[in-house]
Structure formats: structure tokens, C-alpha cells
Amino acid sequence: MTIKTTLTLVLAAATTAMGFSGLAMADSHGAEEAKDQALVILTSDSLQTQGMAMILSNAMQQQGTDLHILLCDAAGDLAVDGYETAEAINTPPSNPAGQVKPEGILQMIMGKGAKVDVCAIYLPNSEYDEDDLIEGVGVAAPGPMAEMMRDPSVAVYTF
């Protein structure tokens, strides 16, 4: 092997190693900046569906997800101050909570920082107005909500 060939191979190896090192640094740097975010859209009036959506949202939040919840149609009632579902749901045997209500879990995860909005058309199509909502619940604007739904870094779940 000539010196020229050896130097070329050493230069190629060094460049490749530096390139991979740079990629690794870029990947780890991006991971530090990226937040685990999720948008949960709940529309169902089913007690079990509402309950499971809230239980899963709570679990995601406990695992570090920055959570945004959008309540539409009958699920918007969960955000009305004083609203109570008619009955509680039983949790699985692995959950010591026993019985829970979706609106209770919603308020708990709001207390831990989840952002909650009702759909823009919820209030105009219900008997409620903005003053009837739980403190901290907003009314979603279609533009910003659409941006969040289109953002590939935000996982979107619908119930």
C-alpha cells in the first residue's frame, strides 16, 4: 500500500468518524430540545370511552408527556363547572382507585399542567357560555388547533 493510499484511507476514516460524531451530537442535542407532546381529542358521550381517554391521558402525563386535551360535542360537558356524570366507572384491578369519574380525572390532570380547551363550536351549540367552564379551560381557536394537529412532533389521539 502506498503512502498516498494509506493517507487517503486514514482521511476517509477520520472524516467518517467525525461525521458520525457530529450526527450523534446533533441527535442528542435535538432530543434535549424536543418535548414529548400529545393532543387528545375527546368527542364521545360514552362514559367508558371518556373514562379511558382520561385514564390514558393521565398515564401519558405521568410518563412525561406535555398534554393538551380538546373536548368536543358531548365530551365538552366534562369542562362545565359543576358537571357530574351520573355514575362512576370501575377501574381495572391493577388500579387501586376503585371508582372514578372522567371529570374528576380531567381536573386532576389539569392541576398537573394539562391544557384543556373545548371546541370552538361547543359553546355556541350548547346551553353554556364561557363563564360556565371550569377555571383554566379555554375555547380552542381553529387555526392554532389545526397547526397542532399538523405538527409531526405532536401525537394526536381521538376518542
Q: How much of the chain, in percent, has pLDDT values that exceed 90? A: 71
Q: Looking at the predicted structure, is the pLDDT value of residue 92 above 90?
A: no
Give the separation between CA 50 and CA 86, rounded to whole angstroms. 13
30-69 per-position pLDDT tens digit:
444 568 999 999 999 999 999 999 999 999 999 999 999 9
The mean pLDDT value for 83-95 works out to: 86
The pLDDT of residue 33 is 52
Residue entry with cell 371518556: 50
The pLDDT of residue 122 is 98
**Pair 118, 106: CB distance under 8 Å:** no
The mean pLDDT value for 94-98 works out to: 74
Q: Looking at the predicted structure, is the pLDDT value of residue 17 above 70?
A: no
How do beta strands 154-158 and 37-42 pair?
A: parallel
Give the separation between CA 37 and CA 31, rounded to whole angstroms. 13
